[in-house]
Amino acid sequence: MGGRQPAPISSPGLGSLTGLACSSGILVAMADSVARLYEAVIAVRGSDPTKSRTARLLRAGRAKMAKKLAEEAVEVVIDAMHGQPEAVVRESADLLYNLVVLWVHAGVHPDEVWAEMGRRERMFGIAEKVPKDLIRMSSRQRVVALEPRRARKRR
């Protein structure tokens, strides 16, 4: 992994992101979009749930948010397996939306995620996932099953 260090990428309101700079600014644009989405979710957090889908989702609680996130992830996988790139794009946007809603509920700011990604990039390279044996399992809580419900067909 030696050689060139990733260039810091700066964006107004986001500070400095460590990542591979690209001439088109895709990384900055994505970080900006996620930051704007995060701020929009924060802004509607206390809104009337009858008028805001986001407020309704936040009010429904962590289990509902986690379920929606998992559903969107599965839809991305299904569309990718069926070779439908346009559907993968649409479902990926839904996945990111639900992830940001869960971040807001969990008190996680996008900058914290970008910092972790930068840390991992410095250790393993941008295209590598952290090896499981390096994750301290003792710091993770035990996964518990969500409420059992009858499986419903999606339309």
The 3-state secondary structure of the chain reads CCCCCCCEEEECCCEEEECCCCCCCHHHHHHHHHHHHHHHHHHHCCCCCCCCHHHHHHHHCHHHHHHHHHHHHHHHHHHHHCCCHHHHHHHHHHHHHHHHHHHHHHCCCHHHHHHHHHHHHHHHCCCCCCCHHHCCHHHCCCCCCCCCCCCCCCC
- Taken in order of first residue, the domains within the chain and their CATH numbers are 8-110 (1.10.287.1080)
Angle at 82 between CA 76 and CA 83, to 5 degrees: 90
Query: pLDDT-derived band of residue 5, with 50, 70 and 90 as boundaries?
Result: very low
Strand partners, 17: 9
Angle at 126 between CA 122 and CA 130, to 5 degrees: 75
Query: pLDDT-derived band of residue 129, with 50, 70 and 90 as boundaries?
Result: confident
**Predicted local confidence at residue 31, as pLDDT:** 80
* pTM assigned to the model: 0.70
φ, ψ of residue 18 to 5 degrees: the values are -95, 120
**Predicted local confidence at residue 67, as pLDDT:** 97
**Predicted local confidence at residue 41, as pLDDT:** 97
| pLDDT above 50 for 133 | yes
- Residue 46 vs residue 75, higher pLDDT: 75
CA distance 29 to 42: 20
**Predicted local confidence at residue 25, as pLDDT:** 67
